[in-house]
Structure 1
């Protein structure tokens, strides 16, 4: 066998279809696109166009707005904190803040602050340093012998 005798298997390669090269080629005139005008051209995007009918994005009402100054808190329950303490991921003796909760895997990422809710039971005496807490959460923490320091949330997002 010689190098010049090597070839692909019959039917493995196809010749490129040359469109728009005359009526006798079978794909002339419209070049396989089937239409004239805008749709026959390249780079055309007619998204949302409904043939002159009022498009759906204009038929539906627009309501409300998104407040760019809103604060997005990590919500943590007391039961979740107690579970982390029981598992040895959090140390009840030191002050627990957002960074400690993130390191323990209680919250996934830091947002504008941590807000503590009273869901679940708290047995450990803890010192919390958070952005907010419900009244019943504060009562449960103080009943367990702990303390809570509520700090204001981060400054508004627009200033960042």
Structure 2
């Protein structure tokens, strides 16, 4: 390799030792109240009169002009855990959904669909959480489906396809 190429390569290599901001990137700090000639003298960019021109003015980003701030208007969640706090989440369900379209896609006609079989096919993978079969999609095969819960429409469609919907205990 020629010495010229080596020199150019050495200059181009970037490291912590030669990092610099782009030219013109750093600007000097704006110094207000330093005389009329600076353009920001006299009122120092605060305007003539009003609350904003006075000392102690509330010019922070979340100040709302004296109206009740949003963090004080919002509800307070009580209780030991945010997700379980009452009375705001009284109707939370603790089930994992499985759709009919997924069952139809993954199981053969006449198959026995248990929780273990669903888990093996990539459905209902969260252990210890009840499984509810929902009626999203169509089912064309007769399947025997075992689950903790069924929506009314899902049960209807399974039985219409010639299958059975069996509830599990627990």
TM-score range, shorter chain: 0.3 to 0.5
Which structure ranks higher in relative contact order (CA pairs < 8 Å, sequence separation ≥ 6)? 1
Return the TM-score normalized by structure 1.
0.47
